[in-house]
Amino acid sequence: MGSTLLLPVLLATSFWSRGDAQAVPVQTPVLQGKVTGSSASMYCRLSNEHVVHWYQHLPGKPPKRILYMWRQTATFDDNSDRRRFQAQKHSTEPLYYLTIDNLTPRDSGTYYCTYCIIRPWDADVKVFGSGTKLIVSNKGSSPPENSEILQKTHENQITYVCLIEKFYPEVIRVTWTDEENKEITDNVVKGDTWKPAEGDEYSVGSWLTVPAENKHKNYYCKYEHESQQHSLMTRDSKKNALQDEDCSTHPGNGTVFNRDHLFHRTAYLVYIALLLKSSMYYVIVLLFMYRMWAPTKQQGKKA
């Protein structure tokens, strides 16, 4: 089985084995993009004390275990990793830390913490966390240049689009909450991060659809980026009514929000429609001329 399929299978097995979401390790959701030579630290929280394993998953390579830890003692699979990797446990809580020193771009990847469920009647199962993404480059982080909520009312529904533009690196967490600060997961769609052909900044869009009778309720779009955390209210979106032509699908990057792309696409479609229309007129004129010319030609042959 390829490395790209291994971790999803392990994660699925982890959920199936317990059916308990509380048992899944909670990891640092967003890690700062780091520059070469700096350090990065991430955490992993469990519900109880366990032997914790840390895995490194680099692009194009299978997951590799770095170490496992019981209480305050860490055991490395490769002793050479001791020079750059440090593992610690909180003194009183089941909270575990992994620190990487002297970072290089080769350290860019996703880091997972896991623990084993011992099952005497069957094979042991490893429960993986959601992973922490690390990006190492010589480009510093930059907060979003623009963030706003736009809305569109259609029949009996309201769609809010939370647009976050031009940030770096691409790791970002976007969530929707209600007036009671409870996270909303139903009827929420998060697009993939994307960037234009030129430039290093990324953008992302997230959609929330609610019944039209909830138009007086307020919702919040919150994003967490290494450079900034911010919250936007839907109440402010009334001045930003979303037109039908503002939503598009960006080829190859999933659903995104891109006004310029859609503007040019709409202009292109109008041009094609006019071209087809003129082509139809051209064909009609040709047919008309042919019908006039055909009898004359036949009379010439008879003569």
Structure tokens belonging to residue 168: 């770096």
| DSSP-derived 3-state class of residue 95 | strand
**Cβ 170 vs Cβ 138: under 8 Å:** no
* Residue among 257, 279, 255, 275 nearest 267 (CA): 275
Nearest-angstrom CA–CA distance, 161 and 207: 5
At 5 the pLDDT is 42
At 176 the pLDDT is 95
Instruction: For residues 237-256, give the mean pLDDT.
Output: 48
* Residue among 68, 61, 87 nearest 7 (CA): 61
Q: Name residue 151's beta-bridge partners.
A: 160, 241
Task: Say if residue 18's pLDDT is above 80.
Answer: no
Q: Tokens 């909180």 map to which residue?
A: 90
Nearest-angstrom CA–CA distance, 298 and 287: 17
Mean pLDDT computed over every residue of the chain: 78
Q: Which of 126 and 260 is assigned the larger pLDDT?
A: 126
**Cβ 135 vs Cβ 34: under 8 Å:** yes
* Residue among 161, 128, 173 nearest 15 (CA): 128
Instruction: For residues 253-279, give the mean pLDDT.
Output: 44
Count helices and strands in the chain by DSSP H and E runs: 2, 20
Structure tokens belonging to residue 216: 């007086």
Q: Name residue 125's beta-bridge partners.
A: 117
The string of pLDDT tens digits covering residues 23-72 is 789 998 766 678 888 899 999 999 888 899 999 999 999 999 999 999 88
Task: Say if residue 247's pLDDT is above 80.
Answer: no
At 238 the pLDDT is 62
**Sorting pLDDT into bands at 50, 70 and 90, what band is 244?**
very low
Residue 197's region, left for phi above 0, alpha for psi from -120 to 50, else beta, is alpha
* Residue among 228, 15, 180 nearest 114 (CA): 15
At 218 the pLDDT is 92
Around Cβ 156, how many Cβ atoms within 10 Å?
A: 8
At 252 the pLDDT is 40
The string of pLDDT tens digits covering residues 72-86 is 899 999 999 999 999
Task: Say if residue 123's pLDDT is above 50.
Answer: yes
Q: Name residue 40's beta-bridge partners.
A: 100
Around Cβ 161, how many Cβ atoms within 10 Å?
A: 22
Nearest-angstrom CA–CA distance, 101 and 39: 4
Task: Say if residue 4's pLDDT is above 90.
Answer: no
Q: Tokens 């392990």 map to which residue?
A: 10
**Cβ 174 vs Cβ 145: under 8 Å:** no
